[in-house]
């Protein structure tokens, strides 16, 4: 696992949520030379974005609870404890947009907004 996925406070993943994952895949693979790997998630297929064989991000369809949102890239920051990070964000005047939850065989994440409304995700990866 790369260092960014282990170190608290490091940006470790970027994720595109889009209305057309296949079109995004075609665009970005041609633009940047990325490769992708399919990662089935039950109701949809998550595309892992790779550079030199290393996963650096993902592409997924807009989830049901966010229908109507425009396509957007979102960063993830590694944290030691997602639940503590969500609680601390609220104490500091932020908002928890998506409460901490598990991603099977990946880790636990949350989506928070800072007091100005900027959104970022925090994640604790499973130890492998």
- Give the residue with greater pLDDT, 128 vs 37: 37
Reported pTM: 0.87
> What is the C-alpha separation between 114 and 24, in angstroms, rounded?
28
List phi, psi (to 5°) of 8.
-55, 130
Strand partners, 40: 45
Domain boundary among 39, 66, 93: 66
At 30, the pLDDT band (50, 70, 90 cuts) reads very high
**Whole-number percent of the chain with pLDDT over 70:** 98
Tell me: do 59 and 89 sit in the same domain: no
pLDDT surpasses 60 at 1: no
CA separation, residue 11 to residues 5, 26, 64, 79 (Å):
8, 25, 26, 10
The count of domains in the chain is 2
Tell me: do 62 and 95 sit in the same domain: no
Domain ranges, residue 47: 1-66
Tell me: do 124 and 96 sit in the same domain: yes
Give the per-residue pLDDT at 86: 98
Tell me the H-state helices in the chain.
Answer: 21-32, 82-91
Tell me: do 54 and 18 sit in the same domain: yes
What are the pLDDT digits (tens) for 2-18? 677 789 999 999 999 99
pLDDT surpasses 90 at 65: no
Specify the CATH number for the domain of residue 14: 3.10.180.10
What are the pLDDT digits (tens) for 45-57? 999 999 999 999 9
Tell me: do 36 and 92 sit in the same domain: no
Which residues lie below 8 Å from residue 113, measured CB to CB, with a gap of 6+? 94, 95, 97, 119, 120
């Amino acid at each position: 696992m790369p260092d960014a996925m282990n170190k608290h406070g490091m940006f470790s993943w970027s994720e595109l949520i889009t209305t057309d994952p296949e079109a995004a895949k075609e665009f970005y693979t041609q633009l940047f030379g990325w490769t992708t790997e399919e990662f089935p998630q039950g109701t949809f297929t998550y595309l892992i974005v790779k550079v030199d064989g290393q996963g650096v991000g993902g592409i997924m369809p807009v989830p049901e609870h966010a229908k109507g949102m425009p396509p957007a890239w979102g960063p993830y920051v590694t944290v030691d404890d997602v639940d503590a990070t969500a609680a601390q964000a609220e104490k500091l005047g932020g908002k928890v947009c998506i409460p901490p939850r598990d991603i099977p065989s990946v880790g636990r994440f949350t989506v928070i907004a800072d007091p100005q409304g900027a959104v970022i995700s925090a994640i604790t990866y499973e130890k492998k």
